[in-house]
Amino acid sequence: MHAPTGIQYELTLQTPSGPARVVVTEVAAGLRAYSMNGIDLIETFHESVQPPMAAGIVLVPWPNRIRDGQWTQNGVTRQLALTEPAKNNASHGLLRFTPYREVSRTSDAVTLAATVFPQSGYPFHLETEVTYALTATGLDVTHRLRNVGGEPAPVAVGAHPFLKIGDVPTGDLMVRVDASTHIDVDDRLNPTGETPVTDTRFDLRDGVSVDDLNLDDGFGGVGDAGEHSLTAPDGRRVTLWGDENMRYVQVFTPRFFPVTQGSAKPVRSIAIAIEPMTAPANAFNSGAGLHWVEPGEQWVVRWGIRHAGFASQSQS
């Protein structure tokens, strides 16, 4: 059987908290699995299926949505393919179904690359790379985007991990999102404005039970540390961090994600994606968070996942 996500790159590292394991897919350079001491830190899925709800994929050269797939540059209207036809949007970039090629690989790190060729709606030429590297405290992810074309290229970067803490029901976790503004949207999930979260249900800075949330919402004003976290009742914590470029985040809490526990058949249940982004939805039109890479230049963006409270088996 050939996996629909292509080659599966397995990374391992012995850490102070125990053995860490990651699986990265050839298609979309997706993060399919990440565990510490056998405890899943992201929602995983079997290699025989496509990523459910875009789980783990890389979002380049834009995350989220572009309204009607249209944007204007110097008076010229560009038309992208409508990859979210139900809402008439272009969604999650141009590489979500693209096979990446291996650049380098060790036992605990892999670098994959893919080209964005000039095409309808995006007449720019990019060489992109993503590196996944296990460390003693977590997983570091580095994106590199180089403009190999002849004119400045608009770019934004995002990722789509669904976080979890082992077999703790996701609804029982506390989520903290360090963001001071909410991206208000229309019924097609395209931005209409940005408002402070203070005294609203979107203020997640002090922690909220995941079970109390029903979100597919973007946030801005991410704090300087760029950290968002899930905490279990026993104190174990998983933190997603982003560098100074990751000033936006999307929080998605579907009630029907196919949650996998061990070898059992997936069960539809609540899950939570915390999606670091350099720009919000529709950034090609609003310009919010949009980065222009000059010809010959490279833009580097970093994010990752850390864990705390996961003692190794020898310490427990």
Q: What DSSP string runs through 263-303?
A: TSPPEEE--EEEEEESS-TTHHHH-TT-EEEPTT-EEEEEE
The confidence band for 164, taking pLDDT boundaries of 50, 70 and 90, is: very high
pTM score, two decimals?
Answer: 0.96
Q: Phi and psi dihedrals of 120, rounded to 5?
A: -55, 125
> What's the rounded Cα separation, in Å, for the pair 214 and 316?
36
Q: Is the pLDDT of residue 66 over 70?
A: yes
Q: Is the peptide bond before 61 cis (omega within 30 degrees of 0)?
A: yes
User: Can you tell me the mean pLDDT for 66-86?
Assistant: 96
Q: Is the pLDDT of residue 313 over 60?
A: no
The confidence band for 50, taking pLDDT boundaries of 50, 70 and 90, is: very high
Q: Which residues contact 10 (CB under 8 A, 6 or more apart)?
A: 21, 22, 23
Domain ranges within the chain, ordered by starting residue: 8-308
Share of the chain above pLDDT 90, in %: 94
The confidence band for 311, taking pLDDT boundaries of 50, 70 and 90, is: confident
Calculate the average pLDDT of the chain: 96
Q: Give the chain's end-to-end CA distance (angstroms, integer).
A: 40
Share of the chain above pLDDT 70, in %: 97
Looking at residue 152, its pLDDT comes to 98
3-state helix, strand and coil shares in percent for the chain, rounded to the nearest 5: 5, 50, 45
Q: How many CB atoms lie within 10 A of CB 280?
A: 29
Pick the CATH number of 8-308 from 3.40.190.10, 3.90.650.10, 3.30.70.100, 2.70.98.10: 2.70.98.10
CA distances from 251 to 29, 137, 198, 207, 247 (A): 21, 24, 17, 13, 14
pLDDT tens for residues 199-235? 999 999 999 999 999 999 999 999 999 999 999 999 9
Q: Is the pLDDT of residue 108 over 70?
A: yes
Looking at residue 263, its pLDDT comes to 61
The confidence band for 315, taking pLDDT boundaries of 50, 70 and 90, is: very low
- DSSP, res 5: T
> What's the rounded Cα separation, in Å, for the pair 176 and 215?
14
Looking at residue 262, its pLDDT comes to 65
Q: Considering only CA atoms, which of 199, 250, 197 is closest in space to residue 228? A: 250
